[in-house]
Each structure stands twice: as C-alpha cells, then as structure tokens.
Amino acid sequence: MYICLCHGVTDRDIREAAENGVTSMRQLGKELGVGRQCGRCACHAREILRETQKTDYLAMANMLAQPA
Ligand code: FES
C-alpha cells in the first residue's frame, strides 16, 4: 500500500528501510523522502516504523526464550 504519495513510497519500502537500519523519521526522510513534501504521510509512516521496531523486539525475545 502506498504511504507517501508524493514520493511513491509503500509500506514495504518503509519496512525494508527499517531492516536496513533506518530507525527514525529523520533517517526515513533522508532515505526515501517520506514526510519531506506535504507531510501527510508522516503519522502513518511513523506508525509503520514503530511497528517494525516492535516486531524486532518480539523476535529477539522469542529467540532468547528458546532453549539452547
Ligand atoms: S505524502 Fe509523503 S510527503 Fe506528501
């Protein structure tokens, strides 16, 4: 789904950027242009970015909970 229409950025693009180390909206703006024009996408983009960070945290917790 398109999140940033001004720059043609999808939710998948944002998740991919997060996997490659993007952790803030500032970095996302530099990498993909998200929120740099009209700004309407900023709230939803931030939500997706936080979602990916939660997912990483859960994956790490699950990995630590598994027996060696
Ligand atoms: S929709 Fe993202 S800057 Fe306009």
Give this prediction's pTM.
0.81
55: Cβ–Cβ under 8 A, 6 or more apart, which residues? Answer: none
Q: Considering only the C-alpha atoms of the chain, give the largest distance between any 2 of them, rounded to a whole number of Å.
A: 50
d(CA 8, CA 67): 43
Domains of the chain, CATH where assigned: 2-65 (1.10.10.1100)
Q: Which of 2, 32, 40, 44 has the most ligand 1 atoms within 8 A of CB, as the residue to mutate?
A: 40
Digit-coded pLDDT (tens) for 1-45: 999 999 999 999 999 999 999 999 999 999 999 999 999 999 999
Q: 29 CA to middle of ligand 1, Å?
A: 10
Please state the separation of Cα 51 from the chain's center in Å. Answer: 7
For the CA of 38, the closest atom of ligand 1 is 4
Q: Which two tokens stand for residue 20?
A: 């490659």
